[in-house]
A = this chain, B = another copy of it.
Amino acid sequence: MIIIAEKINGSIPSMGKAIAAHDEAWIKDVAKKEADVLDQDRDFIDCCTSVEENELETMHWMIDLIQSQCDNKIAVDSPNPQICLDAMKFCKRPGMINSVSGEGNKIDLVFPVLAKPENKDWDVMALLCDDTGIPKSAADRIRVLNNIMAKAKEYGIAESRIHIDPLIEMLCTSEEGIALVLEVMDYIKEHYPQAHISGAVSNISFNLPYRKIINQAFTVVCIQHGMDSGVLDPLNRDLRGSIYAAEALKGDDFYCMEYIGAQREGIFGPVDK
């Protein structure tokens, strides 16, 4: 599982406050903690300012803070794709554009840049929404998906560089559980087997009590349906453990060696008192 560590995001109240107060120590501390439990070559540290003014400058400042602590790959995260593109140059190594979607001209702005030979190691997150918003049916999300993937082919961007977020919505207002999202995941797996299936897993538990248990169960089910990338809190020890467990159950972890190794490294398991 490729982890896109979610904690450096201004829409999280404590982080938003740290950004507003220009609290460098806070941001550096979070970056360090995330980096400590991530794989440098597999995972990403997301960086989202959520500010309304001076977004690019703020992004630059935050990327530098992260890079002062670690050499991890960064997912440059903004609803404005031009900001993502402009921030690429601040990154010491290729990372991820987070994100494009079927909205407006996002694809036609971002894909040509990613198609350049010098950007061949950059990945991209693609959300399955468009100018109509979040499609209500699996069929409509698949339509958005097929459009995005056709564009990727047109621009010569390999499937394996694309992380697809089928858009995870809160379970508490769903009448049929997660059937819609699993249908989209199954479709991706069948039709675009090299693409990554991703998503912001904690959205599922919005407005429910004891969210951690829903998040864990959801992640386990998604992994069974091919999810191999996720925007999540890498410091959530039980969630990390659930991911290793799900991969072992799926048969992707020979004799549970990865599970056992991660537990020994302290990525999950009981904390010594």
Q: Check if B248 sits within 8 Å of A171, measured CB to CB.
A: yes
Question: Among the listed B175, B218, B260, which residue makes an inter-chain contact with A255, where contact means beta carbons less than 8 Å apart?
Answer: B175
Question: Among the listed B204, B216, B252, which residue makes an inter-chain contact with A177, where contact means beta carbons less than 8 Å apart?
Answer: B252
Q: What is the interface residue range for chain A against chain B?
A: 35 or more
Q: Check if A249 sits within 8 Å of B178, measured CB to CB.
A: yes
Copies in the complex: 2
Judge if A109 is at the interface, Cβ distance under 8 Å: no
Q: Check if A213 sits within 8 Å of B171, measured CB to CB.
A: no
Q: Check if A208 sits within 8 Å of B259, measured CB to CB.
A: yes
Interface 1/0 per residue, A247-271 and B, CB below 8 Å? 0111111111001100110001110
Judge if A134 is at the interface, Cβ distance under 8 Å: no
Among the stretches A5-13, A70-78, A83-91, A238-246, the one at the interface with B is A238-246
Q: Give the complex CA separation of A213 and B214 in angstroms.
A: 13
Q: Check if B260 sits within 8 Å of A218, measured CB to CB.
A: no
Q: Cβ of A246: which chain B residues have Cβ within 8 Å of it?
A: 217, 221
Judge if A220 is at the interface, Cβ distance under 8 Å: yes
Q: Check if A172 sits within 8 Å of B256, measured CB to CB.
A: yes
Judge if A176 is at the interface, Cβ distance under 8 Å: yes
Q: Check if A177 sits within 8 Å of B245, measured CB to CB.
A: no
Interface 1/0 per residue, A201-223 and B, CB below 8 Å? 00010001110011011101100
Given A176-B251, A209-B263, A254-B175, does the pair A217, B214 have CB atoms closer than 8 Å? no
Q: Check if B217 sits within 8 Å of A249, measured CB to CB.
A: yes
Q: Check if B177 sits within 8 Å of A208, measured CB to CB.
A: no
Judge if A113 is at the interface, Cβ distance under 8 Å: no
Q: Check if A216 sits within 8 Å of B214, measured CB to CB.
A: no
Q: Give the complex CA separation of A260 and B256 in angstroms.
A: 34
Q: Check if B210 sits within 8 Å of A250, measured CB to CB.
A: no
Interface 1/0 per residue, A169-185 and B, CB below 8 Å? 00111111111000000
Extra contacts, 5 of them, besides A172-B256, A224-B224 (Cβ < 8 A), are: A174-B251, A174-B255, A217-B246, A221-B221, A221-B246
**Which 4 A-B pairs have CB atoms at the shortest separation, nearest pair first?**
A177-B251, A217-B245, A213-B241, A176-B251
